[in-house]
């Protein structure tokens, strides 16, 4: 089905609007949680809720990202990528505008959940289309560079959010997110290629379950998906909990909080730039090993510092910056290797990958929150270090697994 489309080997101006529009949508969905995070204390205050609702915003957002993964990938394999992707962007625009009407913290969290469903379309449909539309070297370079644009959201988001809440109501942020997504919708409608044209087959729940049974019985795929999840978990747990750690408990202003997030995401961007530079010069597996030392050393620094001194958040930032650089080195290559670990339709495979990773994110963020409130920053960062060690173990298993073993695990 997807083999009908011949992958592009050289990027021209004619092809660039599609990835630019996709990354604009990804940027909008990222900034929809990164920009609101420094304003979450204001949100819970406005609704008369406790500070424990602060991480719930990101948890609800990611939970929404699990709900449609199982359906969208297989649906786009059969109905085509374009109609599914365009409908997802339109849904995000509508739910962002609906946030202007919420009247309680429960309604706020529900709307965050509905907005989070947009994550499903990026991974299960958008990324699958990028991998199908471009050859291996170009797709890795493009994913790394796209990640840098998308990472402007967590880089700028905390600072922009902190500044925004001083000049406008937090609800106005969601009108901005809707505008960015509407621009993305126009670009995707104009330029998104159809890499999975309809083949005339009917959508069947029996076929869907059979496909997922094959994907989830592929141990190489499972190892890769879990490795992706655990490599990113420390960063997401920090993004979710850091407003409480830095603003509420350490007494930083929202603007100071945002500035201390900048080094971490600069490290992530630097890792992606290095990956883009070396892609095509080394094998796809090499950057995975290059990323291991900074990931583990950075998490070790953060954990050790805060176990010694509970308020050593400067060392936490330094350690997470080093960790983020290593994460930037591994992301794009690990994603492509995992996506192609199964021969099934890439929409189905990407959907399964998304379900696994986001389920780990949701559970991990909640566990990290409970650990922080029960035991403090030291054990919070020790949990992050444990996640890094699990990632390394999974990656070893993933790279040991031979391609000939893929189908039967």
Q: What is the pLDDT of residue 76?
A: 85
pLDDT digits 0-9 by tens, 298-319: 999 999 998 888 777 888 899 9
Instruction: Name residues whose C-beta falls within 8 Å of residue 386's C-beta, 6 or more positions apart in sequence.
Output: none
Find, among 120, 131, 124, 55, the residue nearest to 92 by Cα: 120
How far apart CA 44 and CA 38 sit, in angstroms, is 11
Q: What tokens were used for 261? A: 């997030």
User: What pLDDT is stored for residue 252 in this prediction?
Assistant: 84
pLDDT of 248-295, one tens digit each?
Answer: 888 888 778 778 888 998 898 899 889 888 887 888 889 999 999 999
Query: How many angstroms separate the CA atoms of 33 and 167, rounded?
Result: 19
* Separation of alpha carbons 71 and 288, rounded Å: 30
Are 239 and 34 contacting, i.e. CB atoms less than 8 angstroms apart? yes
Residues 90, 121: Cα–Cα separation, whole Å: 11
Give the C-alpha separation, 70 to 370, whole Å.
Answer: 29
Query: Do residues 250 and 311 make contact, with C-beta atoms less than 8 angstroms apart?
Result: yes
The predicted pLDDT at position 142 comes to 79
CA angle 176, 179, 183 (to 5 degrees): 145
Mean pLDDT in runs of 10 for the chain (409 residues)? Answer: 56 79 90 82 84 81 80 84 93 93 91 89 86 81 76 72 85 93 94 76 79 92 96 90 84 80 88 86 89 96 88 87 94 89 86 87 91 90 96 94 43
Distance CA 267, CA 295 (A): 11
Classify 376 in phi/psi space as left (phi over 0), alpha (psi -120 to 50) or beta.
left
Sign of CA dihedral 12, 180, 256, 298: negative
What pLDDT, on a 0 to 100 scale, did the predictor assign at position 151?
66
107: CB partners within 8 A, 6+ apart: none
Which pLDDT tens digit goes with each residue over 156-191? 777 788 888 888 888 999 999 999 999 999 999 998
Q: Where are the domains of the chain?
A: 15-195+207-400
What's the pLDDT at 11?
Answer: 67
| CATH level 3 topology of 15-195+207-400 | Growth Hormone; Chain: A; (1.20.1250)
């Amino acid at each position: 089905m997807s083999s009908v489309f011949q992958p592009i080997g050289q990027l021209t101006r004619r092809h660039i609007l599609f990835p630019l529009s996709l990354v604009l949508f990804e940027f909008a969905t990222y900034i929809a949680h990164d920009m609101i995070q420094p304003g979450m204390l204001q949100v819970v205050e406005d609704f008369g809720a406790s500070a424990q609702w602060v991480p719930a915003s990101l948890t609800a957002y990611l939970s929404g990202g699990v709900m449609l993964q199982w359906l969208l990938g297989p649906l786009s394999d059969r109905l085509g990528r374009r109609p599914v992707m365009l409908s997802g962007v339109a849904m995000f625009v509508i739910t962002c505008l609906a946030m202007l009407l919420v009247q309680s913290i429960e309604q706020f969290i529900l709307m965050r959940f509905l907005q989070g469903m947009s994550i499903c379309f990026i991974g299960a449909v958008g990324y699958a289309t990028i991998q199908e539309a471009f050859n291996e070297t170009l797709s890795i370079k493009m994913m790394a560079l796209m990640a840098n644009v998308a990472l402007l959201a967590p880089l700028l988001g905390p600072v922009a959010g902190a500044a925004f809440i001083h000049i406008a109501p937090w609800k106005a942020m969601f009108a901005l997110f809707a505008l960015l997504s509407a621009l993305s919708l126009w670009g995707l409608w104009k330029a998104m290629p159809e890499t999975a044209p309809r083949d005339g087959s009917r959508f069947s729940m029996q076929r869907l379950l059979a496909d997922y049974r094959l994907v989830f019985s592929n141990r190489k795929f499972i190892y890769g998906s879990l490795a992706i999840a655990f490599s990113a978990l420390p960063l997401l747990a920090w993004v979710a909990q850091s407003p409480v750690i830095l603003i509420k408990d350490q007494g930083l202003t929202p603007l100071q909080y945002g500035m201390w997030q900048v080094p971490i995401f600069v490290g992530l961007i630097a890792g992606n730039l290095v990956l883009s530079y070396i892609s095509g010069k080394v094998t796809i597996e090499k950057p995975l090993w290059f990323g291991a030392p900074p990931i583990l050393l950075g998490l070790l620094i953060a954990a050790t510092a805060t176990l010694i001194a509970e308020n050593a958040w400067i060392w936490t930032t330094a350690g997470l910056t080093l960790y983020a650089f290593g994460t930037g080195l591994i992301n794009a290559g690990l994603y492509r290797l995992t996506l192609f670990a199964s021969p099934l339709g890439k929409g189905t495979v990407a959907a399964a990958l998304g379900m696994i990773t986001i389920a780990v994110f949701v559970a991990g963020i909640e566990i990290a929150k409970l650990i922080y409130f029960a035991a403090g920053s030291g054990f919070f960062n020790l949990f992050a270090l444990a996640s890094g060690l699990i990632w390394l173990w999974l990656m070893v298993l993933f790279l040991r697994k031979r391609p000939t073993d893929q189908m039967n695990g």
